[in-house]
């Protein structure tokens, strides 16, 4: 890659291949792989990532919202796409664009059947979501009879899969709770299957589930964060490669004297003769205000430069008093070595939040 001369998010598709193969190596050969590409493939670029995953022969894709699935279909993606959190207002679009809804409650089930029947669909694939302890979306086990009776009164849809989501698969202090979720899901699935005359696929694991709970891989796994290079543990992080590097450039260097202040609300005061660099990336680009006031940092010439004062909408100022640097020099916000997960930790958040926050304003550049 050439040095950055503006703010750019570099995406390493070779690293994506590596992570995909690494996660696949944890699975039985007949376990299907669903790649979660919601939120612009965790802040990278959903179209390029989905195209690359399609080349890698991923079995399924998932997005959170209908609109995200439409974007992929518009780009020519033909892999099946599960929409994890659809709303009835989008059901016609879902069918029109061959997207497959997660059905998480009785209202959504009823309304999807109505639309599927209106559109004269036969065996339209849907995915029945059960709540096993996350208490976010999903039917309860006690809803099985209702779901099955609805499925039996229509030929318009079929339950392609039954799934649930783990609440704490990355947390080894919660093994007991997670095991109970796994058991509860298996019991519900069995009750469900016994009442149907066909066999839906079962899936439960996200990335950390794949790593920590091999017995729960079932027919398919749903990986997001691992594909993008984070494994929710220091150990797993070693085997994965972050695919995204966020880089920028020094726009201007200022020399300031003791008592002078930097940025809005004069939040930083120089303790002596100091040197600051202004970088063209701000909270509108995804570096939130929580990284200001010396919590967050960037790297210049391999050295850490703390963000001083408040993060502005389009800029941050960093302290480069002890760094030999010039206007036009490259700045690393995170990359494969200086990890986004560490920067996230500096502001008490997680890799998921910092990477998905990188806004669409930031230019994307791809390499293999």
Ligand X SMILES: *Cc1c(COP(=O)(O)O)cnc(C)c1O
Task: Catalogue the active-site residues.
Answer: 38, 264
Phi-psi region of 284 (alpha: psi -120 to 50; beta: other; left: phi over 0): alpha
User: Is 358 among the residues that bind ligand X (CB under 6 A)?
Assistant: no
Is the Cβ of residue 61 or residue 318 nearer to ligand X in the bound state? Answer: 61
Q: Under a CB-based contact definition with an 8 Å cutoff, are residues 296 and 347 in contact? A: yes
**Spatial distance between the Cα atoms of 127 and 160, rounded to a whole number of angstroms:** 6
Question: CB 268 → ligand X: shortest distance, Å?
Answer: 36
User: Is 37 among the residues that bind ligand X (CB under 6 A)?
Assistant: no
User: Is 58 among the residues that bind ligand X (CB under 6 A)?
Assistant: no
User: Is 223 among the residues that bind ligand X (CB under 6 A)?
Assistant: yes
Site size toward ligand X, by CB under 6 A: 11
Is the Cβ of residue 98 or residue 134 nearer to ligand X in the bound state? Answer: 134
Question: CB 334 → ligand X: shortest distance, Å?
Answer: 18
Q: Report 182-211 residues binding ligand X (CB under 6 A).
A: 206-207
Question: CB 195 → ligand X: shortest distance, Å?
Answer: 24
Is the Cβ of residue 178 or residue 207 nearer to ligand X in the bound state? Answer: 207
* Number of Cβ atoms within 10 Å of the Cβ of 289: 15
DSSP state of 337: S
**Spatial distance between the Cα atoms of 218 and 183, rounded to a whole number of angstroms:** 12
Only one of the segments 43-51, 150-158, 186-194, 222-230 lies at the binding site for ligand X (rule: CB under 6 A); that segment is: 222-230
Question: CB 321 → ligand X: shortest distance, Å?
Answer: 39
* Number of Cβ atoms within 10 Å of the Cβ of 39: 18
Only one of the segments 112-120, 219-227, 252-260, 332-340 lies at the binding site for ligand X (rule: CB under 6 A); that segment is: 219-227
Annotate 215-239 with b (16+ C-beta within 10 A) or e (fewer): ebbbbbbbbbbbbbbbbbeeebbeb
**Spatial distance between the Cα atoms of 160 and 179, rounded to a whole number of angstroms:** 25
Question: CB 203 → ligand X: shortest distance, Å?
Answer: 9
User: Is 225 among the residues that bind ligand X (CB under 6 A)?
Assistant: yes
If you search the block for the tokens 């065996």, which residue do you land on? 123
Q: Which of 36, 246, 354, 362 touches ligand X (CB under 6 A)? A: 36
Q: DSSP for 27-46? A: S-TT-EEEEE-HHHHHHS-H
**Spatial distance between the Cα atoms of 203 and 209, rounded to a whole number of angstroms:** 11
**Spatial distance between the Cα atoms of 201 and 127, rounded to a whole number of angstroms:** 9
Q: Which of 84, 218, 298, 315 touches ligand X (CB under 6 A)? A: 84
Is the Cβ of residue 13 or residue 225 nearer to ligand X in the bound state? Answer: 225
User: Is 178 among the residues that bind ligand X (CB under 6 A)?
Assistant: no
Q: Report 285-314 residues binding ligand X (CB under 6 A).
A: none
Q: Under a CB-based contact definition with an 8 Å cutoff, are residues 201 and 296 in contact? A: no
Both structure tokens of 92: 């016609």
**Spatial distance between the Cα atoms of 155 and 116, rounded to a whole number of angstroms:** 9
User: Is 165 among the residues that bind ligand X (CB under 6 A)?
Assistant: yes
Is the Cβ of residue 222 or residue 241 nearer to ligand X in the bound state? Answer: 222
Only one of the segments 11-19, 217-225, 287-295, 331-339 lies at the binding site for ligand X (rule: CB under 6 A); that segment is: 217-225
Question: CB 223 → ligand X: shortest distance, Å?
Answer: 5
Q: 3-class DSSP state for residue 176? A: helix
- What is the contact surface with ligand X in residues (CB under 6 A)? 36, 38, 84, 165, 206-207, 222-226
């Amino acid at each position: 890659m050439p040095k950055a001369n503006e703010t750019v998010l570099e995406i390493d598709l070779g690293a994506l291949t590596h992570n995909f193969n690494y996660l696949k190596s944890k699975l039985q050969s007949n376990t299907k792989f669903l790649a979660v590409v919601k939120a612009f493939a965790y802040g990278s670029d959903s179209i390029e990532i989905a195209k690359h995953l399609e080349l890698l022969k991923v079995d399924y894709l998932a997005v959170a919202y209908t609109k995200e699935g439409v974007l992929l279909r518009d780009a020519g993606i033909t892999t099946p796409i599960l929409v994890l959190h659809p709303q009835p207002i989008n059901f016609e679009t879902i069918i029109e664009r061959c997207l497959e809804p997660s059905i998480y409650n009785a209202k959504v089930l009823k309304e999807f059947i109505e639309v599927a029947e209106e559109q004269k669909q036969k065996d339209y694939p849907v995915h029945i979501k059960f709540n096993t302890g996350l208490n976010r979306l999903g039917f309860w086990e006690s809803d099985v009879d209702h779901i099955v009776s609805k499925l039996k009164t229509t030929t318009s849809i079929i339950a392609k899969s039954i799934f649930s989501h783990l609440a704490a698969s990355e947390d080894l202090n919660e093994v007991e709770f997670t095991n109970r979720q796994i058991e509860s899901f298996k019991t519900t699935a069995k009750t469900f299957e016994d009442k149907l005359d066909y066999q839906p696929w079962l899936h439960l694991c996200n990335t950390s589930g794949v790593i920590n709970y091999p017995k729960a891989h079932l027919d398919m796994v749903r990986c997001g964060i691992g594909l993008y290079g984070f494994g929710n543990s220091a150990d797993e992080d070693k085997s994965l490669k972050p695919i995204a590097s966020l880089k920028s450039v020094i726009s201007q260097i200022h020399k300031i004297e003791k008592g002078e202040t930097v940025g809005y609300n004069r939040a930083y005061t120089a303790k002596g003769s100091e040197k600051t660099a202004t970088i063209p990336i701000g909270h509108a680009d995804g570096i939130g205000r929580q990284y200001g006031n010396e919590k967050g940092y960037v790297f210049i010439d391999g050295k850490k430069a703390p963000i001083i004062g408040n993060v502005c909408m389009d800029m941050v100022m960093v302290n480069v008093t002890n760094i030999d640097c010039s206007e036009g020099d490259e700045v690393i916000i995170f990359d494969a070595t200086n990890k986004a997960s560490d920067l996230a930790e500096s502001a008490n958040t997680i890799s998921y939040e910092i990477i998905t926050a990188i806004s669409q304003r930031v230019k994307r550049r791809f390499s293999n």
